Amino acid sequence: MPTLPTHPDFLWAEGEPKRHYDVVVVGGGGHGLATAYYLARNHGITDVAVLEKGWLAGGNMARNTTIIRSNYLLDASAAIYEHSLKLWETMAADLDYDVLFSQRGVLNLAHSLSDVRDSKRRVFANRLNGVDAEWLEPDEVAKIAPIINISAGVRYPVLGATYQPRGGIAKHDWVAWAYARRAADLGVDLIQQCEVSGFDVCGSGDGRRVSGVQTNRGPIGADRVALVAAGHSSVLAARAGVDLPLQSRPLQALVSELLEQVLDTVVMSNAVHVYVSQAHKGELVMGAGTDAWNGYGQRGAWHVIEHQMAAAVELFPIFARAHVLRTWGGIVDVSPDASPIIGLTPVEGLYVNAGWGTGGFKATPGSGWVMADTVAHGRPHALAQPYALERFTTGALIDEHGAAGVAH
């Protein structure tokens, strides 16, 4: 386990404190750390502070199911997730740190005729966008994941699956530490236990501009502020006078006890709604959908876990012999079209990256890359243009509800 290169004390403890930065990144999770790193590496902007109210990567980055894929249906989604996947493939060399990225493939199961049609449509769309995708018949699914029950007599029979060989998993906390270490090496300040309580905004109407943030450790000036705080983006944005169309909901997952390796790919099912992989240490990592109601508690309703377990045992009868070790919940921002919001806000100098819903982890490097470019140049990166806040008034939505094979 590496030592994180954070600097929480010297800014205020030694002599005259530094209270102004070129860029302040609000949120020390994967997306925030990646944004800071790419600001420094790609654009030479090192006068950057990452502010985290708790500890680095202690929020959703520590509460996800580590799945990585890019086989999304819509053009804008496929573009940004595929860009992210390509960055995953070079991440270890780029950051000089092994993040245990394992391209073990991702299966998305189909259980009905409509599932089959939708899945094949997504395979064709993926191929048109240069994303690797295959359609597998049930016997081919069984060759990749022999423990899946493909018999015809079950409630949700497996009629086939899409398969992305380049998909997989990575060790989420190591990803965050790698970005943190490299960003710090390039001169970025990482400040933990620094909660943002408000924004300094001058001017009025269309002439508003951000000039800094208020924190529990005092005010910090900034020429630009990047709001990258999953789960609480709408609350923080409202403090700057920006209304984001986001809802915050618990997203649940669980892990089993350590087991011998029985599953060497990722399996996802939308109809029975469970997705599962086996981590490097041996625990089964399972996720479900978001809870149906809004909330900020990092746990959800037990009936979601119960449904998740019933689905998993039906698909994988062998799992009936496993034991749940722990469950948890993250807080995800959900937009009306199940796609993120990336780019400028009505307040000059204030940028937002939010609303990834259940797709946040897999987007980590791509999100940081396009956010850094957007902040550096004051205009949306090409891959971020479709995700502008204005789409909710123009109607140019990117509706991935169900289209991506599972709500993840």
Write out the DSSP string of 173-192: HHHHHHHHHHHHHTT-EEE-
pLDDT for position 403: 58
Nearest 5°: CA angle at 406, between 404 and 408? 90
pLDDT for position 400: 85
How far apart are alpha carbons 220 and 200 in whole angstroms?
Answer: 9
pTM of the shown model? 0.94
**C-alpha distances in Å from residue 399, one per residue of 190, 366, 395:** 35, 19, 11
Q: Counting Cβ atoms within 10 Å, is residue 290 exposed (0-12), middle (13-18) or buried (19+)?
A: buried
Strands (E), 34-92: 48-51, 67-68
- 27, 228 in Cβ contact below 8 A? yes
The rounded average pLDDT for each run of 10 residues, N- to C-terminus, in the chain (408 residues) is: 42 55 97 98 97 92 92 96 98 96 97 95 97 98 96 91 98 95 96 95 91 94 96 92 92 91 93 89 89 74 79 91 87 90 97 93 97 98 97 93 56
pLDDT for position 300: 66
